[in-house]
Amino acid sequence: MKVYKYGANVDTDVIIPARYLNAPDPASLASHCMEDIDPDFASTVEEGDIIVAGPNFGCGSSREHAPLAIQSSGVKCVIAPSFARIFYRNAINIGFPIMECAEAAEEIGLEDKLTVDFKTGAIVNETRRKSYQSAPFPEFINEIVQEGGLLNSLKKRGLGK
């Protein structure tokens, strides 16, 4: 598990540049994820890696491709002090967990090893032996994330087609 660390105001056009929005599938989106800010990201990211960023992560357009590109690249979650509201909602809608914690985002470094608990909101920096507390999602949002997104959650409850 690696940490990828970025600054404030990482916008959706940096997460997945507009020139790739017609990509035919999530794997294609993932292959171009973060390439304008971190050209090596797509070739080095591994399943379970975590992005840590500054405030207002996912600002910019309302494109739902941004959290999908990150999720499809294998990233486990994004930790930031705050998220653009539309990115936040799009992430939940596809079942991609994000955690808001300013102290963790500030202190976590590239070499740190983390464990996260989405149900409790706990973030543990195993390297520095320090714990942080993110506000946990309400149970209904946890269920959406655990079911792989809003549509899957609705289907499970017999409300979607």
User: For the ranges 25-29, 129-133, 151-155, which has the lowest average pLDDT?
Assistant: 151-155
**What is the chain's length?**
161
Identify the residue with better confidence: 153 or 54: 54
Domain residue limits at 51: 3-156
| Residue 23 per-residue DSSP state | -
> Does residue 88 sit within a domain?
yes
Which tens digit of pLDDT belongs to each residue from 52-102?
999 999 999 888 999 999 999 999 999 999 999 999 999 999 999 999 999
Q: Pick from 92, 15, 116: which is nearest to 56 by CA? A: 15
Residue 161 lies in a domain: no
Residue 28, domain member (yes or no): yes
Identify whether 128 is part of a domain.
Answer: yes
- Within a domain: residue 20? yes
Q: pTM of the full predicted structure?
A: 0.94
The domain total for the chain is 1
